[in-house]
Amino acid sequence: MLRSNDKQLSVYSILYNKIPENNILRLINTAVDFSFINELLEDSYCKYYGRPAKEPELLVRILVLQYLYKLSDERVIMDASLNLAYMWFLGINPEDELPHPSLLAKFRVHKLQDITLDEIIIEVVNQCVEKGIIDGSGISIDATHTEANTFKATPERVMKRLAKKIFKTVTEEKGEVPETINQEIPDYKQIEDHKEAKATMEAYLEKTIVEVEESIDIENYPKTKKIIENAKEILKDPKFIQQRGVRSIVDQEARVGHKSKTERFFGYKTEFMITTDDRIITAVTVNNGSYVDGTEFNKLMELTQKSGLTLKEIYGDKAYFKKQILDKIKEIEARAYIPISEMAYKIDEERFSYNKDSDEWFCSQGNNTIRKKHRKDKSGKQTYKYYFEKEKCNNCSQRENCIKGTTKARVLEVGINTPEFYEYSQQQKTGEFKENYKKRACQEWKNGEMKNFHGLDRARGYGLKSMSTQAKLTALAVNLKRIANILSSKISFDLSFFILFKADRKYCSQAA
């Protein structure tokens, strides 16, 4: 049951007058009205029965403090019971008691679903747009990695831990492991051949599962049944033995991903959109480490548009140079500032150029294509074949270097999207594109801020849901910090202008 918000009516509340007006928490409270949170989570509480619940707004404010200052559940409650600025921000009296730290964990798990956090981020951004705090029209997108809160194990070790967990669970539920089950786990470390070690452990685990199912009625032992089904699911995945699937029993949703061509990580990927001018995060999605950048571009764009921003420019790195993304940007009548990806566009522009009006390719020697043919191979890959004029190719001085074999004329085979990509390629050679693309640097700075100062470099818990909550609360915290900085800058500017204006008037009066 929700109760009315506590009011700061205590005689001790006079102590809050000591908090400076330019304090970050005062500035945040000036910019954002958090009262919408109670309405947002109203349906998740009983309106008429049960003990009075701590207001969702209070708990969200505590979480903001936690992620703003990189604190644990226990530490944020302890600090909030001592720090006057924290108490004022939470809307409590100095003598009021704060909720137990365990309530924060329950609130995150049971109340703060992904959709709720998305709505909180959107509403905060929307309020700032309406107040004129945010007024940019450029959006940048990128993904950053987060290490899992556990180590990456080999498939052999995972299978060994699964076997141990099965034996432990059977003992807890049944009292002992039946003698018919072989509990002597092979020592895979003594096997030099890794493939043989994997095969040995796989065969042992499969045999153990069969022996457990034959020895006991697992329907009467729910915990044993659950771990058995979990083991079967892991073994069934072909990626597991190839070391591209589950790598930890503790966190089975984390995956191996790539930081670069040579560097890997084990954990999750957070993809987010950020305004290039004000550096405010507008939308966040979280996936496992093997996530391919740009897959959830449409979802991020949809969430960003709900915040009330007018989008005119979209920035991204080469990973986002994809037909579906470029089409979406064109659909909303924005301009794409995304560098050409060599994987999608492989034309040597020193040798070939394209005219979109006549749909013709020209070679460096002046020859042009006279017809084209659509082609689709067995795998479904579609291309265009452009045929150059035979007579010009026959008389060309570069024929030997350009045409191989007995072919009479050059045939240029390009991807089905290559003619369209050629336009993007030409745009990116302009000084205007190069100058504007510098705005994308805001994303790299924000990645570093969230990791170095707010704990996004490593997962706090286990699983995709926990990581998603962490990433979105981090985004909310850095947004509020940035909003406070913007307000502080404006206040400083207005104050400086007022002082200069007053001094100018005084000078004019003296001169007169």
Summarised one tens digit per residue, pLDDT across range 286-326 is 999 999 999 999 999 999 999 999 999 999 999 999 999 99
Backbone conformation region of residue 132, classed left if phi is above 0, alpha if psi is from -120 to 50, else beta: left
Q: 360 is written with which tokens?
A: 């013709």
Q: 251 is written with which tokens?
A: 């966190």
> Closest by alpha carbon to 127, among 207, 214, 28?
28
Predicted structure pTM score: 0.88
CA dist 93 and 109 (Å) reads 28
User: Does pLDDT of 506 surpass 60?
Assistant: no
Q: 511 is written with which tokens?
A: 């001169």
Three-state DSSP at 438 gives helix
- Stretch among 43-57, 94-108, 403-417, 482-496 having the lowest mean pLDDT: 43-57
Three-state DSSP at 413 gives strand
Task: Classify strands 138-147 and 382-388 as parallel, antiparallel or unpaired.
Answer: unpaired
Residue 52: pLDDT band with limits 50, 70, 90: low
Taking residues 457-485, what's their average pLDDT?
96
Extents of the domains making up the chain: 11-132+474-491, 155-241, 352-425
212 within 8 A of 166, measured Cβ to Cβ: yes
Residues of the chain with pLDDT > 70, as a percent, come to 92
CA dist 29 and 21 (Å) reads 11
CA dist 10 and 15 (Å) reads 10
Q: Which long-range contacts (CB under 8 A, 24 or more apart) does 427-435 make?
A: 428/339, 428/340, 433/337
CA dist 95 and 435 (Å) reads 55
Interval 59-107: pLDDT, tens: 999 999 999 999 999 999 999 999 999 999 999 988 888 999 999 999 9
User: Does pLDDT of 343 surpass 90?
Assistant: no
Three-state DSSP at 451 gives helix
231 within 8 A of 223, measured Cβ to Cβ: no
Interval 197-214: pLDDT, tens: 999 999 999 999 999 999
